[in-house]
Amino acid sequence: MKEALIILPKQTNEGSSLEAMNDAVLSDIAHEFNGFTCVDALGGYIANGSTGALAQGELKREPVQVVTIATDETDEASAKLQIIAAAYAQRAAQESVYLRDHSGHVFFIERDHSPSVAHLEKVAPNWDEGNRAQVRTRANAGGYVKSAGA
């Protein structure tokens, strides 16, 4: 087994709490990977000018949750994490979500990242169609990262 890591903001860019949404994604991660470790931390990035009220070059600091997950060293595990991160980014209205998979590769999963057949074939070429269909169906049905009202 290896470690993967996902970083979840605790607030929207407008300052609203993402606690319910983060609880939902943690539940999804626990069900898919049999557990996680979550630590509160402080994250930061330099604004690129498209982040609301921040000026380009301004440092944005925000409270985050660093979630560590023990995963198998498989493309399937990486694909599931990428899909969970993409669903979270969409529902939490995040430009991107930081994900480090079991191989150590870092991805900034954008909110328009979609669990398409082509993507699943790229990240999990050894999956059979049943695995792809199951993950695609669950992601498209909102099974990953339920909205705060769900």
Q: Is residue 142 part of a domain?
A: no
pTM, two decimal places: 0.75
Whether residue 111 contacts residue 93, with contact meaning beta carbons closer than 8 Å, is answered with: yes
- Helix (H, G, I), strand (E, B), or coil: what is residue 52? coil
Element (H, E) at 2: strand 2-9
Q: Is residue 62 part of a domain?
A: yes
Q: Is residue 121 part of a domain?
A: no
Q: What is the DSSP letter of 34?
A: S
CA 69/CA 64 separation, integer angstroms: 16
- Give the domain CATH number at 60: 3.30.70.120
- Domain span at residue 35? 2-112
The number of folded domains in the chain is 1
Q: Is residue 74 part of a domain?
A: yes
pLDDT, tens digit, 9 for 90 and up, residues 37-82: 999 999 988 877 665 666 778 888 899 999 999 999 988 888 888 8
